Amino acid sequence: MTLTFLDAIILGIVEGLTEFLPISSTGHLTITEKLIGLPVDAKAVTAYTAIIQLGAIAATFLFFARKIARLFMAWVRGLANQEARRSPDYMLAWAVIVGSLPVGIVGFLLRDVIEGPLRSLWVVAAALLLWSVVMWAAERRHEVLARRGVQRGEYDLTVVDGLVIGLVQCLSLIPGVSRSGATISAGLLRGVDRVTATELSFFMAIPALTAAGLFQAVDQRHNLGQLGMGQMLVGIVVAFVVAYASIAWLLKYVAHHSIMVFVWYRVVLGVLLAGALAAGVISAT
């Protein structure tokens, strides 16, 4: 099993483009890995996929550095001062923390299933199509609430919002669902405005993806040499650059447009993938 530097660049681009768009980075990486000839259910390949996500997370840290620092300081002050707990930033920080816990726990407990049976392109195709229905329903609810003028912003978020969105985020462990697609949809269904739901998705990605990447780096340290440390570094750097641009674009896009373009993209991709699998053009694993 070999991974060329061109393969690493391609995978880095795919990771950076799709990590924060609601179209499933894991699903796209699985498809890409299959197309370039990698065994998608191999431990080393699964670990590589998780580790290059660290590049995308670094981009999130850089892009939101000031806001992350602001939330962290508000949280620290709130722990020691009752008056500081009234700050909206303190509540938002807790919403992110609480919302980040479920996916970490579920992901750890079900890691063998996630890295094994779920690494099938049939699973990806089904998840792309089925979760598109949820995203469509979420966007419709957003439009109804927007017309009524009853949407909530970041300073209206509660710990319950964070927990509910975090629980829904667990479904993104299924390749094809999309972590951002799950969290944005959950936010919209909770009555949160589109930009706030998208930003919350970014913040919840930081602990989840950082933990996943570091765990895989330690757990699969003996297997990663098969793919090359240089190739891994290239993948991380490329993912960082592309993800930074992707974050900036997505925030501007959702401020003025619905997420339906992503829904239709998912449907088309899911149908094409299912058709290719059924015709035997590609295999599921």
User: Considering the domain boundaries, does residue 285 fall inside one?
Assistant: no
Residue-wise DSSP of 186-215 = HHHHTTB-HHHHHHHHHHHHHHHHHHHHHH
Pairwise CA distance, residues 162 & 51, whole Å: 26
Maximum distance among all alpha carbons in the chain?
A: 64
| Cβ-Cβ contacts under 8 Å for 280 (sequence gap 6 or more) | none
Per residue in 209-258, pLDDT (tens digit) is 787 777 777 776 666 667 778 888 999 999 999 999 999 999 999 999 99
CA angle 90/93/94 to nearest 5° reads 90
Would you say the pTM of this structure is higher than 0.85?
yes
Pairwise CA distance, residues 17 & 111, whole Å: 25
Per residue in 157-200, pLDDT (tens digit) is 999 999 999 999 999 999 899 989 999 999 999 999 999 999 99
Q: Is the pLDDT of residue 84 over 70?
A: yes
User: Considering the domain boundaries, does residue 212 fall inside one?
Assistant: yes
Mean of pLDDT values over 111-118: 79
Percentage of the chain surpassing pLDDT 70?
97
Tokens of 274: 């299912």
Pairwise CA distance, residues 50 & 15, whole Å: 10
Domain encompassing residue 40? 5-278
Q: How many domains does the chain have?
A: 1
